[in-house]
Structure 1
Amino acid sequence: MMCAAPKDVAVIIPARNEAERIGACLAAFAGQRSRATVILVVNNTTDATAEIARAAAERDNVDLKVLICVLGPTDGVGAARRIGCDYALRHMLQLRYLMTTDADCIVAPDWIARNVQHLETADVVCGRVELIESEKGILSGMNHALATNEGRYRTLVQRLYARYAAGSAQLGGTHGEAAGASIVFNKAAYLAVGGFEPAGCGEDRQFVRALRSSGYQVLHADDVIVHASCRLAGRAVGGMSDALKARIEGTDYLVDDCLPAADWLVRSAVAGTLGVWPPLVPAERRVHVQDLPANISALETFFRSRRVAKARSTLIARTQRTAWSHPAGRWPGDGLAASAAAPATWDPPGCQQPDLSRTSGRIYIERKLK
């Protein structure tokens, strides 16, 4: 008689009044890794989320454990994730990896497999969050020009962190997200930083910051995909739903709180005090979407100035190597051997030192940004 393979992967899903979506969420795990247990943390719920989840799991042959709890008034989704992780740590003796997503999300068919593959070389994997295709019409009122500017600025900010922030070298060119909709990690990393904070929002990014600050390798994997709902009435104040709603209703909303103003970024990059990705911008320092063009211009100016400084240093080094490097001091075409007493500042014909006085390696920000 064959023994069942030990369960070594726990998938934690917080859920509050998710009767309409939990069936589709769980169905996405059908046929995925047989050694995974899904732990659904149903909290502060007044609908049939738990009953629908159990029926869906039985129908789709998903190994499901339902935890029902009531969170305190100061607790939030972070507390629910923590409860699920703590249950897995206590009851799954062969546990290696913990994964978390949200009840209004649908993971890709290879979500568990790709995460497990990446966890062979990384401690933490942050997946890419895309919108459910059939729901994108909800966002038809969004100003796409403003959204494009925010995406452009985010690319620049991530590029700066990849170059100048500790532990972020692989951030450039990736999605850069750290959303609870798709974060996975090994058991040791979770225990090392003490798990999720019981916050109502932002517990996911805080968790990733703590891991990166502790030296754990964080991978932002573009091939790990989860599709999130476009609903505008979410469960966490300040979460994705609130962000989408602001982008539909407003023309001067605040951009993502992981995108600091350019003046702060430049000062911090030069001083070497950026900290780790993703940052958390205080409410009073967040950037308004209408100010993004000036911020984009400032970061582009910064990158150009760094390239000029690097090119200047390279040109000086090349000139110094060339100035007196030919065998026996002979310069091609002069027909004469150079005197051994030739001054060190001698320049071969046609190779005079260039005037670099007009090229500055210093950084200028043309305008103080808000």
Structure 2
Amino acid sequence: MKIAIVIPAHNEASTIMDCLTSVQLAIEQLPSTIIAYPLVVLDSCTDETLSLIRSAQVEYKIEYLTCDYRCVGRVRDLGLCHAIANGANWLACTDADSMVSADWLTQQMAHIQQQPTDMICGVVSVNSWAHLSSQTQQAYEAHYQDIMGHRHIHGANLSFNREAYLAVGGFSPLACHEDVDLVKRFENLGYAITWSNKVRVTTSSRLQARAKEGFAAFLANLERSDLQ
């Protein structure tokens, strides 16, 4: 098996190395029979993200692409199509402001071995509540189901096989909710989806959203509601 971990990045100099370090640790847990590598897709970066990627390219065996889309759906699809063209048959997605768990990939492989699946939707944990109100934390935790069989969808923790991804037409060119759209098309075509809380990612609690209706915007809306 060959796994590509596709990571879109737009001005993520402050977080990208923590993300890549966590991905490297997850790769190191895999058996030697499985090839895995990170593929960073830099979208309209004007900070030091590209310089950091180049500096770490050899150590972390990173591949990277650059584009100027300002559209996360197009960015993810660009990376995934590149990975598929280079032989990847299992595709894992995370985000540049997130850190995957050490067993992130081995848990995916365990799910595939236990019961064949076409897609795995994992869970996310928030990295810090320190700058948010206690009411925001309580509202989030009351909403979030950190259990097997949950129905949460995160582009920062989504993986699937090559054949199914191509069959549904890949990520749509959407600026937000591209992950929800993809999962719905998997469901509509009857592909097997595993909703797992064993496949885990820790993501940033920043409120400055890269995508207008992404996870940061969700937290910001909760915070605004609590402060009113």
- Superposition TM-score, scaled by structure 1 size: 0.56
Secondary structure in structure 1 of the residue aligned to 2:47: coil
8 Å contact 1:36–1:63 — kept in the other structure? no
Within-5 A mapping of 1:92-107: 92=87, 95-107=88-100
Cα drift, residue 127 of structure 1: 0.8
RMSD (CA atoms): 2.2
| Larger CA deviation: 10-19 vs 22-31 | 22-31
More strand per residue: 1 or 2?
A: 2
| 1:283-337 deviation digits (Å, cap 9, x = unpaired) | xxxxxxxxxxxxxxxxxxxxxxxxxxxxxxxxxxxxxxxxxxxxxxxxxxxxxxx
Q: Which amino acid aligns with 2:202?
A: H
Cα drift, residue 149 of structure 1: 5.3
Q: Which amino acid aligns with 2:68?
A: V
Match of 1:197 in 2: 172
Match of 1:15 in 2: 9
Within-5 A mapping of 1:74-223: 76-92=71-87, 95-120=88-113, 121-132=116-127, 135-143=128-136, 146-147=139-140, 150-151=143-144, 174-223=149-198
Cα drift, residue 137 of structure 1: 0.7
Q: How many residues get paired?
A: 220
8 Å contact 1:16–1:42 — kept in the other structure? yes
Match of 2:68 in 1: 70
Q: Which amino acid aligns with 1:70?
A: D
Unaligned runs of 5+ in 1: 1-6, 156-171, 254-370
Larger Rg: 1
| 1:66-89 deviation digits (Å, cap 9, x = unpaired) | 101111xxx511110000011011
Closer, same or farther in 2 for the Cα pair 1:123/1:235, shift >3 Å?
same
Pick from 15, 21, 27 the counterpart of residue 27 of structure 1.
21
Closer, same or farther in 2 for the Cα pair 1:66/1:129, shift >3 Å?
same
Structure 1 CA distance, aligned partners of 2:10 and 2:206? 14
8 Å contact 2:148–2:197 — kept in the other structure? no
Match of 1:280 in 2: none
Cα drift, residue 119 of structure 1: 2.7
Match of 2:46 in 1: 46
8 Å contact 2:38–2:62 — kept in the other structure? yes
Aligned sequence identity (%)? 31
Could you list the runs of 4 or more consecutive aligned residues of structure 1 that deviate by over 6 angstroms after TM superposition?
none
Structure 2 CA distance, aligned partners of 1:209 and 1:252? 34
Closer, same or farther in 2 for the Cα pair 1:105/1:148, shift >3 Å?
closer
Cα drift, residue 55 of structure 1: 2.2
Cα drift, residue 196 of structure 1: 0.2
Closer, same or farther in 2 for the Cα pair 1:248/1:48, shift >3 Å?
same
- Superposition TM-score, scaled by structure 2 size: 0.88
Q: Which amino acid aligns with 1:108?
A: S
| 1:254-276 deviation digits (Å, cap 9, x = unpaired) | xxxxxxxxxxxxxxxxxxxxxxx
Closer, same or farther in 2 for the Cα pair 1:144/1:81, shift >3 Å?
closer
Cα drift, residue 65 of structure 1: 0.5
